[in-house]
Amino acid sequence: TEGNKQESRGALVVLEGLDRSGKSSQCSRLASFLEGQGISAELWRFPDRTTNVGQMISAYLTNTSQLDDHTIHLLFSANRWEKRSLMETKLKTGTTLIVDRYSYSGVAFSSAKGLDIEWCKAPEIGLPAPDVVVYLDISPEKAAERGGYGGERYEKLEFQKKVADCYKILHDVSWKVVDACQPIEDVEKQLLEIVLDCVTECRKGRPLST
């Protein structure tokens, strides 16, 4: 009957980490691997710079515009909210989302500037909750050695050290920590194992929460 029909849903997988932790390339490798296995998956990233809000964020990050710290915080959050309904639709219809940064970046990067952490968390309440958060762990010093930063607003060693401290505060036991300084294949292997477990759990009917 309709009542016990279980639609299998996709998993919401979030990767977090400092700039230059290798997140973005791992996210795209993961998404392509899953697709290759016949698992419906998409690569998403926040900020999504393609929307109107995203363009304001991009201008801020490239130092083309100046914005009050609270204002930019709320724009980053709005950028996630504007994707919420599509995110939920994708998950409910069976697509796994591999998301490069989410609410934790929002809180870590803004509280690193000195904003109150509870104030930073508030606008994130109600967004779909990740099924797993993977933290790609690298020290700010090691990250800085990796071919240099791109020159955007936050890409400075002193600031990244503060972000690392804020991530430590946010970190909870449910996070999966992967050492980002291992050979790339090892990082990939560990990530895959975590993500495949998570996809399986979601297929079995783990409820989507907020």
The one of ligand DGP, Na ion, none whose footprint includes residue 44, by CB under 5 to 8 A per kind, is none
Looking at residues 39 to 58 of the shown chain, list those that interact with ligand DGP (rule: CB under 6 A).
Answer: 46-47
CB burial string 69-99: b at 16+ within 10 A, e below: eeebbbbbbbbbeebeeebbebbeeebbbbb
Taking the C-alpha atoms of residue 142 and residue 135, their distance in angstroms, rounded to an integer, is 15
Assess 104 for contact with ligand DGP (CB under 6 A): no
| Helix (H) or strand (E) segment spanning residue 73 | helix 69-81
Taking the C-alpha atoms of residue 185 and residue 26, their distance in angstroms, rounded to an integer, is 10
Q: Minimum Å distance from CB 118 to ligand DGP? A: 16
Binding mask 6-35 for Na ion (x = CB under 5 A): -------------x----x-----------
The one-letter code for the residue type at 83 is K
Looking at residues 134 to 163 of the shown chain, list those that interact with ligand DGP (rule: CB under 6 A).
Answer: 152, 154
* 3-state SS class at 13: strand
Q: To which residue do tokens 């050492």 refer?
A: 179
Looking at residues 56 to 75 of the shown chain, list those that interact with ligand DGP (rule: CB under 6 A).
Answer: 61, 73
The one of Na ion, ligand DGP, none whose footprint includes residue 105, by CB under 5 to 8 A per kind, is ligand DGP
Give the nearer residue to ligand DGP in terms of CB position, either 20 or 176: 20
Give the nearer residue to Na ion in terms of CB position, either 36 or 148: 148
Give the nearer residue to Na ion in terms of CB position, either 39 or 170: 170
Taking the C-alpha atoms of residue 178 and residue 197, their distance in angstroms, rounded to an integer, is 15
The one-letter code for the residue type at 210 is T
Question: Could you count the other beta carbons within 10 Å of the beta carbon of residue 210?
Answer: 10
Give the nearer residue to Na ion in terms of CB position, either 46 or 175: 46
Q: Minimum Å distance from CB 92 to Na ion? A: 27
Site residues, Na ion (CB under 5 A): 19, 24
